[in-house]
Every structure is written in structure tokens, then in C-alpha cells.
Amino acid sequence: MAILVGKDTRLIVQGITGRDGSFHTRLMKEYGTNVVGGVTPGKGGMEVEGVPVFDTVKEAVEKTDANTSIIFVPARFAADAIMEAADAGIKLIVAITEGIPIHDMLKVRAYLDQKGARLIGPNCPGLITPEEAKVGIMPGHIFRRGRIGVVSRSGTLTYEIVSHLTASGFGQSTAIGIGGDPIIGTKFIDVLRMFKEDPETEAVVLIGEIGGTDEQDAAEYIGREFDKPVVAFIAGRTAPKEKRMGHAGAIIAGGEGTAEEKIKAFERVGVRVADLPEQVPQILKEILK
């Protein structure tokens, strides 16, 4: 496997009996992901898409030996669902849910740090190691196994750029959508550290957007110690200040978080930044000659 998910992933789906949970359970199973159980309180004993449903994550882990969970739970219950998964010993939690209040996420981050669990998201498309496992809502057919790691704040831009990569002959080791909320569980630097240690990842595509300083932090880390080629794309060059653009975290506040700042930060450390999504594989071809 590459990083985080693969053939040894044993997945439970929290909120499996809901519309989105059941729909994506079917798609993840069709992709080849080992979905071993689902959780919906009060629905234990049911089956969804051939997957047994349990009342609690603790019971699901005890019965299935699950090591990963994906959250399809409404925003008002999602923080408790994430912490329940960590409490049950799940070490990788993927939260698809959007709209989780910031004060809930502050509590979640502190709790996960205590439990030693990793969260991807919230408000993210999940992650995929092509031809091994998909934990999320990504369209699996556009991905191909290869040696390019992809990390992104944007779901739809991930799909667009990956489709260009695949069409140009660049398969992916693992692709991760980290989420676009102000408080997320895993940042660019965290994923870059994993890609650095992964022998199956030759180069990385980083997809950022306006808002916050995570891209600048990633650029500083790349300049300091990341030793693999990186190509970046930053969305939102024409975004107006103080206006939220798509994600809750995609807002230029007080002049901070502009696309220009992020692009300059990458260029200062030698990372080439594509002007258009379709340029990403072209730049990769040049730097991997």
C-alpha cells in the first residue's frame, strides 16, 4: 500500500442507514474496499448492502476488528460520532460531513490528540489508494495506480487534476482530500511527511486554495526538508476579499490568505505552480525527466 489506506483497511460506516451512507457504502464495496460493518444507533441487527449494522462503534470494532471509520452523520451529531470512533480504538477516522461547528471541532481535535487517532476532514471527499481501497466519495474510475501523491483542500479540483494526471499517464500512489474547513484533523504538512517516507511516492501534487496559511506552512516545510518534487495549483486567484468562496475556510480575511501570497511562498522554495489544472501533468513531465 501507499499511505493510510490499502488492502489491510477494515472499514466501518457510521451513518450507514442514511441515504449518503448506504449509497457510498455500495460504491466503496464495488471499488474493492473491505467494508466490515456499519453503525446506526437503534438499527443494530440490520444489514445494508450486505454489511452488518451495529448500535455502537465499540460493538462494531469488537465484532469486526475494524481499524478505520468513515462518518456520514449529520453535522449536529458528527463531533460525537468522531469521538465515539476514537474511543473505540479506531485510529483512522474520515469525516465527510460538512457544517460541523468550529467549537465542536476544537473539542474534537483535543480529544483525538489524547487518543492518538488521525482524522481526515471534516468537509472532505476522503482518500483513495488506487486499486486497493477507497474511503470516501471520490469517483474511483478516474484514479490509476502509480507514483504521484496527491493532497488537496478541494474535492472537485482533485477530481479534475487527477483526471488530467491519469490521461497523461501519471498514476497515483494515494490521493487525499484534507477538507476545506478552518479546523481540520490532518494538514498539508502531515500528509507531506507521510509521502516523504513512502517509497511508492515519487512526486507530489498539492492543490490549495485561498484562506488561512496552511499552504505557506507547507511551502516552508518543503523548502526545509521535503526532498521529492512538488507541483502546486492554487485556486481562487480572482476571489474578492472578505467573501467566503466554497469552503468555510476559503475566505481572505484582513488581506491574509490570498492566492498570490501562497503562490509566492511556493515559488520561493522552488515549487512550480500551475496556472491551470491541465498544466499540472505537463509540469510533472518536465521535472521528472
Residue-range domain boundaries for the chain: 11-120, 139-287
- How large is the average pLDDT for residues 227-245? 73
- How large is the average pLDDT for residues 110-118? 96
- Beta strand pairing call for 172-177 and 126-129: antiparallel
**Residue 161 · residue 209 · CB < 8 Å:** no
Q: What is the largest CA-CA distance in the chain?
A: 57
Q: How far is CA 160 from the centre of its chain?
A: 15
Catalytic residues: 247
What is the tens place of the pLDDT at every residue in 26-75?
999 999 999 999 999 999 999 999 999 999 999 999 999 999 999 999 99
Q: Reply yes or no on whether the pLDDT at 254 is more than 90.
A: no
Sign of CA dihedral 51, 54, 57, 58: negative
The average confidence (pLDDT) of the chain is 93
Q: Reply yes or no on whether the pLDDT at 82 is more than 50.
A: yes
d(CA 239, CA 210): 8
d(CA 135, CA 5): 8
Q: Do 139-287 and 11-120 fall under one CATH topology?
A: yes
Q: Reply yes or no on whether the pLDDT at 204 is more than 60.
A: yes
**What pTM did the predictor assign?**
0.93
Task: Confirm or reject CATH 3.40.50.720 for domain 11-120, answering yes or no.
Answer: yes
Q: Which superfamily, per CATH, for 139-287?
A: Succinyl-CoA synthetase domains (3.40.50.261)
The three cell numbers of residue 191 are 500528509
